[in-house]
C-alpha cells in the first residue's frame, strides 16, 4: 500500500497492552499545490485489530484495507472524482448514439466495479473490449493458480449482478467461451469472453 491509498495498515500502541495492535489508518490522498509542493492530510487510526483476534490477523487487516480502498468513494470526495474519471473499473461508457435527441438519456450500465471485484475473487482479470456502445464487451482471463472454472465464474457474476445468461455458449478461437449476460437492471447486455484455464503452466525457454 502507498501514500496514495486512502486506507493503509500500520502498527499502533493504542489500548492494547501486549505488543500493540495493527490499525487501519484513514486519510485523504496527498494534494499537489500550485507552487509544486505536496500537502499530506492528517491520517488517523480508524480500525484497530488486536493480534489475538484472528490467527492470520496480518492478512485479514490488509484485506479489510483493500476492501475499504475499493469503496473509498463512499468516504472521500476526492475518491468520487477519481471514480468519475473513467479509469477501469470505474469506466464511463460512451453515449449509445453520436447525436442523441436532447431529451435522450443513456440507460443504466452494469456495475463494472462489481464485475471486476467478483472476477478478482474468482481468480480472473477482466478488461474492456470493443466500443461499448451497442453492448458491453469484456474479456476475462484466469490470473491466479486458484482461478475457478469459467462456468463457476459466470454463475457467481450472475448471482452478484442479478443477471442471467441468454443464448448458447459460443465457442471462440483459442478456446475462448462467449457468454451473454442480461438483466432488467440495465439495457446493454454483457458480452463476456472467458479464456480457458491452462492445464499446466508453460516453462519459459531459456
Model confidence at 2, in pLDDT bands (50, 70, 90)?
low
Burial 59-70 (b: 16+ CB within 10 A, else e): eebbebbeebbe
- Measured CA to CA, the distance from residue 94 to residue 136 in angstroms comes to 11
According to DSSP, the residues that pair with 116 across neighbouring strands are: none
**What pLDDT does 22 receive?**
77
Check if the beta carbon of residue 146 is closer than 8 Å to that of residue 123.
Answer: yes
pLDDT-based confidence at residue 131 (cuts at 50, 70, 90): low
Domain layout of the chain by residue ranges: 7-83, 112-194
* Fold held by 112-194: Beta Polymerase; domain 2 (3.30.460)
Q: pLDDT value at position 6?
A: 65
Nearest alpha carbon to residue 8 among 87, 89, 72, 52: 72
pLDDT in tens, 12-60: 655 555 556 778 888 887 877 888 788 888 888 888 777 777 788 778 8
pLDDT band at 158 (very low <50, low <70, confident <90, very high): very high
pLDDT at 26: 86
The DSSP 8-state label assigned to residue 185 in this structure reads T
Q: Point out the least confidently predicted range of 26-35, 102-111, 122-131, 156-165.
A: 102-111
Amino acid at each position: 500500500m502507498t501514500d496514495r491509498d486512502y486506507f493503509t495498515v500500520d502498527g499502533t500502541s493504542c489500548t492494547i497492552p501486549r505488543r500493540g495492535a495493527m490499525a487501519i489508518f484513514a486519510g485523504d490522498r496527498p494534494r499537489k499545490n500550485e507552487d509544486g509542493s505536496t500537502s499530506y492530510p492528517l491520517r488517523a487510526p480508524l480500525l484497530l485489530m488486536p493480534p489475538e483476534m484472528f490467527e492470520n490477523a496480518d492478512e485479514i487487516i490488509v484485506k479489510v484495507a483493500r476492501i475499504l480502498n475499493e469503496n473509498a468513494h463512499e468516504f472521500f470526495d476526492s475518491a468520487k472524482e477519481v471514480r468519475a474519471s473513467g479509469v477501469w473499473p470505474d469506466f464511463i461508457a460512451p453515449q449509445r448514439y453520436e447525436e442523441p435527441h436532447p431529451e435522450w438519456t443513456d440507460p443504466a450500465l452494469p456495475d463494472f466495479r462489481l464485475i471486476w471485484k467478483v472476477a478478482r475473487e474468482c481468480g480472473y482479470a477482466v478488461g474492456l473490449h470493443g466500443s461499448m456502445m451497442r453492448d458491453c464487451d469484456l474479456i476475462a482471463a484466469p490470473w491466479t493458480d486458484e482461478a475457478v472454472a469459467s462456468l463457476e465464474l459466470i454463475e457467481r457474476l450472475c448471482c452478484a449482478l442479478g443477471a442471467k445468461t441468454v443464448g448458447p455458449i459460443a465457442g471462440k478461437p483459442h478456446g475462448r467461451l462467449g457468454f451473454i449476460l442480461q438483466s432488467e437492471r440495465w439495457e446493454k447486455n454483457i458480452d463476456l469472453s472467458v479464456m480457458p484455464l491452462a492445464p499446466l503452466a508453460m516453462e519459459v525457454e531459456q
